[in-house]
Structure 1
């Protein structure tokens, strides 16, 4: 992608995982796992920034927790997906999958960051 001056912009890439549960215990366990090392593992895998967000609940809706990561590019994200994500996801499914003590539902989203503002 280039701007009006013809300069090429290097697009950063966003990856987010939103976890949902009706159980406060599961939500606490999931947050502890993320803060206890998982987010740092994703950073070691290529992300340059990570955030942990407790999303505002909708009336009668589940507890929602989002971990959001910024990668320098889609290519770096793809390397992360190929080389690091399988083991991290396996651990997450073992701890928070449907047959675990603290089951969570997961939604993944990703895409190019096209602009940032401060």
Structure 2
């Protein structure tokens, strides 16, 4: 199992709008691609020197090939919407994680 992790720092001035968009639209749109089986959103509890509020959104998929298809077929369109709405008020970086074991 793979986890596609998107860590986002969002500026306080657009936080509420962004949070609502994530909860009601963006995560739903990513799941609607059919390439992920689940998603979870968690708040990062470390204060950043640059300010803002940081979240991690973790999407679960079966394998690297499916994640690659997401990158090719869906990611550009879905990322563009966030950039258009929030621009430089949103800083994101992405990490691929492979689940080794659960206890």
TM-score under structure 1 length normalisation: 0.76
- Superposed displacement of residue 77, structure 1: 0.7
- Mapped pair 1:33 → 2:15: no
Partner of 1:83 in structure 2? 73
* Higher relative contact order (CA closer than 8 Å, sequence separation 6+): 2
Higher helix share goes to which structure?
Answer: 2
* Structure 1 vs Structure 2 CA RMSD: 1.7
Structure 1 runs, 4 residues or longer, greater than 3 Å off: 59-62
Count of equivalent residues: 101
- Superposed displacement of residue 111, structure 1: 2.2
**Rg (Cα) greater in structure:** 1
TM-score under structure 2 length normalisation: 0.86
Stretches of structure 1 lacking an aligned partner (at least 5 in a row): 1-11
